[in-house]
Chains A and B, each alone.
Chain A
Amino acid sequence: MAIRFKKRPGLVAYITCGDPDLDTSREVALAAIGAGADVIELGVPFSDPVADGPVIQRASERALQHGATLEGVLGAAKRIREQSEAGLIIFSYLNPILQYGLDRFCAAAATAGVDGALVTDLPVEEAGDYLQAMKIHQLAPVFLAAPTSTDERLRAIAKHSRGFVYAISRTGITGARQELTSDARTLVERLRGFTKLPIAVGFGVSTPEQFAEVGSFADAAVVGSAIVQCVEQNRGREAAAVAEFLRSLTGAANHAKVGQ
């Protein structure tokens, strides 16, 4: 029940919950944990995912068509927690949380055994009420840091983050890319000056080489779109396919299997 990275690089696995249904998402999460994921980001589907590329957009649309809601995702989290000690983060856009109610969300997340949350479109300046509610319920707020963030912003992001800081590898939306830019390494180096928290690098990590490369300068890699795409392309055997994919991804970094 904590955010801890056992190996370097640690593995943070993002799943769009409810694609194709919440039961499958739970199985995928448990399979990812079995394949070495330290933290699962449970993505709450949103109708207007402005920070996401086509893969997560499509998954979100499918999940919404099948009726996935924040409440459903919290239910899935609770069931994952019953079977695993891995870190669990709710990954959402702000509006579903606002409509659910900020306090109600934090209380429900804490009850479900969730460790923290990351709200894509909630920068630190706007997070006063959110931080207060998260603190009351002992949840870890994880903030994004971007290559465009100024030092002043990185300081504030580091100050208010708990668990880990999520460093965005490049300007842009989520989705696989051929190579990581130098932005990622520079950003992590800059962030180290402001925090001792683990730093996870995400956006575009999809190959064993990229995973290993992230390990050379960051504490963990976030794999998102590649997992969501794996789910999309392996109907009926989503969990097994994701486990295989993650094992091949982490193998190159001699990332020993953990959990199971």
Chain B
Amino acid sequence: MEETASNDSEMPSVKPAPADSKPERRRSTAGRFGVYGGRYVPETLMAALHELDKAYALARRDKSFRDEFRGLLADFAGRPTPLFFAQRLTQQLGGAKIYLKREDLLHTGAHKINNCIGQALLARRMGKHRIIAETGAGQHGVATATVCALFGMECVVYMGTEDMRRQELNVFRMRLLGAEVRGVDSGSRTLKDAINEAMRDWVTNVRTTHYLLGSVLGAHPYPTMVRDFHRVIGQEARKQILKAEGRLPSAVIACVGGGSNAIGIFFDFIKDQDVKLIGVEAGGRGHALGEHAARFDGGGPGVLQGTYSYVLQDTAGQIAATHSVSAGLDYPAIGPEHALLHDEGRAEYVSASDEAALDACQALARLEGIIPALESAHAVAECIQRVPTMSQSDIVVVNVSGRGDKDIGILREKLQF
């Protein structure tokens, strides 16, 4: 929400970043992160994207907008979230000191609410009172339904029927909040298909509707705007660790589906070259295409749903099926800023399997009394793997992006006790 991202609302330059330009720019210029990003959508949506870009550029310079955003983050969502020293997990692993950034304590149970508050305020400024959203795990859907209730807006959430099955509780929560949940039965019936359907709704109702996209995905300005709304995670964490330890952490670990919680906590550490940034993708149940959602392990550059980034696809450019035990990570593309961080070597991306995530979920529950969302459990899994190899003088911050209540059904199915 500060002056970090440039915006481009000048019209049509017809000069994309040349394909061979070096990904040297840290900041988003003309919607690009190096060569990644851009705006690859049907023409009908272009005017809406420009309108959004312009509205956001004005809003973020407007003190009253920033004040209202921060006020709601504090009073409605419950920010700042604590940075908690995980003493027993640290003792058990015998390596680096582990701190948990407690986004799971936020209202609605995950970091997603940050972005939803920001975009709902923006939609209101633009005079759009119909909100549509996609959801995978249901956390973004619940957060969207929540802000729509708060602002008195009409809310339609698209969700794959496979995800509706595995995240049943969140479907009910959305309905309780007054949202209409529309099941999507095409493709793999998961997040990607929900986004397709939301885009079809948007292209049809674009004049009255704001698409409240839930991650750092899609066409410009979404990846920049959504990141800005989540930057507060890293801003807080940086201050909190300096206060607690008097120094910066050795590593920051976060799970990466589209990558919003990860970019949110990474962003203010990017300039701190000694802080390792580690993104954890869904390793699923195997290495073959279709068995996981690790875009940096088998994916390549491509265009999906508005943006140019790493995509899991076949040689003919058809998008691959994905699998993850966590609906929120079960997506074939990754936010374009992560693609740049990956290529630059500034962030490291690894994956954790379904099994490792389930184990990590239980470990955190039993050692710290915190049941993380299965998405966040992927970050915990990497922490469990990595910390024993680190020195006791190291510090690790793990982003617990959401709580596991929504996963009780699937945990019961998988753990059988």
Task: Pick from B44-52, B146-154, B400-408 the stretch touching chain A.
Answer: B44-52
Interface flags for B197-217 (1: CB within 8 Å of A; 0: not) read: 001100111110000000000
Q: A99-B317, A124-B14, A127-B16 are in contact. Are A172 and B204 (CB under 8 A)?
A: yes
Docked Cα-Cα span, A128 to B14, in Å, equals 6
Within 8 A of B (CB), among A78-137: 93-100, 120-129, 131
Judge if A5 is at the interface, Cβ distance under 8 Å. no
Q: A48-B192, A48-B196 are in contact. Are A126 and B206 (CB under 8 A)?
A: no
Name the distance in Å between B6's Cβ and chain A's nearest Cβ: 16
Task: Pick from B34-42, B240-248, B351-359, B366-374 the stretch touching chain A.
Answer: B34-42
Residues of chain B within 8 A (CB-CB) of A131 are 14
Residues of chain A within 8 A (CB-CB) of B19 are 129
In the complex, which residue of chain B has the Cβ closest to the Cβ of A49? B196
Judge if B409 is at the interface, Cβ distance under 8 Å. no
Residues of chain B within 8 A (CB-CB) of A171 are 44, 203-207
Q: A125-B13, A148-B207, A153-B47 are in contact. Are A95 and B317 (CB under 8 A)?
A: yes
Contact A121 B303 (CB under 8 A): yes
Interface flags for B18-40 (1: CB within 8 Å of A; 0: not) read: 11000000000000000000111
Judge if A17 is at the interface, Cβ distance under 8 Å. no
Contact A123 B316 (CB under 8 A): no
Judge if B415 is at the interface, Cβ distance under 8 Å. no
From B50, B206, B207, B317, contact of A96 by CB (8 A): B317
Within 8 A of A (CB), among B56-110: none
Judge if B318 is at the interface, Cβ distance under 8 Å. yes
Task: Pick from A28-36, A139-147, A216-224 the stretch touching chain B.
Answer: A139-147
How many of chain A's residues touch chain B, expressed as a range?
A: 35 or more
In the complex, which residue of chain B has the Cβ closest to the Cβ of A167? B43
Judge if A168 is at the interface, Cβ distance under 8 Å. yes
Contact A99 B13 (CB under 8 A): no
Judge if B143 is at the interface, Cβ distance under 8 Å. no
Name the distance in Å between A51's Cβ and chain B's nearest Cβ: 4
Residues of chain A within 8 A (CB-CB) of B18 are 128-129
Judge if A150 is at the interface, Cβ distance under 8 Å. yes
Contact B42 A50 (CB under 8 A): yes
Q: A96-B318, A171-B203 are in contact. Are A143 and B14 (CB under 8 A)?
A: no
Residues of chain B within 8 A (CB-CB) of A100 are 316-317
Q: A48-B305, A69-B316 are in contact. Are A123 and B203 (CB under 8 A)?
A: no
Contact A149 B302 (CB under 8 A): no
Q: A95-B311, A121-B40, A148-B48 are in contact. Are A153 and B306 (CB under 8 A)?
A: no
Residues of chain B within 8 A (CB-CB) of A93 are 303
Docked Cα-Cα span, A13 to B380, in Å, equals 54
Judge if B313 is at the interface, Cβ distance under 8 Å. yes
Contact B203 A144 (CB under 8 A): no
Name the distance in Å between B208's Cβ and chain A's nearest Cβ: 10
Within 8 A of A (CB), among B286-332: 301-306, 311, 313, 315-319
Contact B203 A50 (CB under 8 A): yes
Q: A125-B14, A149-B47, A152-B12 are in contact. Are A70 and B317 (CB under 8 A)?
A: yes
Within 8 A of A (CB), among B3-20: 11-16, 18-19
Docked Cα-Cα span, A127 to B196, in Å, equals 22
Docked Cα-Cα span, A69 to B314, in Å, equals 11
In the complex, which residue of chain B has the Cβ closest to the Cβ of A57? B186
Judge if A157 is at the interface, Cβ distance under 8 Å. yes
Name the distance in Å between B35's Cβ and chain A's nearest Cβ: 11
Within 8 A of B (CB), among A190-226: none
Judge if B187 is at the interface, Cβ distance under 8 Å. yes
Within 8 A of A (CB), among B171-201: 186-187, 192, 196, 199-200
Residues of chain B within 8 A (CB-CB) of A126 are 16, 38-40
A contact residues vs B (CB 8 Å cutoff): 46-51, 53, 57, 64, 69-71, 93-100, 120-129, 131, 143-150, 152-153, 156-157, 160, 168, 171-173
Enumerate 14 A-B pairs (CB-CB under 8 Å) in ascending A order: A48-B196, A50-B199, A94-B303, A95-B302, A96-B318, A124-B12, A125-B39, A129-B16, A148-B207, A150-B11, A153-B12, A168-B44, A171-B203, A172-B44
B contact residues vs A (CB 8 Å cutoff): 11-16, 18-19, 38-48, 50, 186-187, 192, 196, 199-200, 203-207, 301-306, 311, 313, 315-319
The 4 closest A-B pairs by CB, nearest first: A99-B317, A96-B317, A146-B44, A172-B204
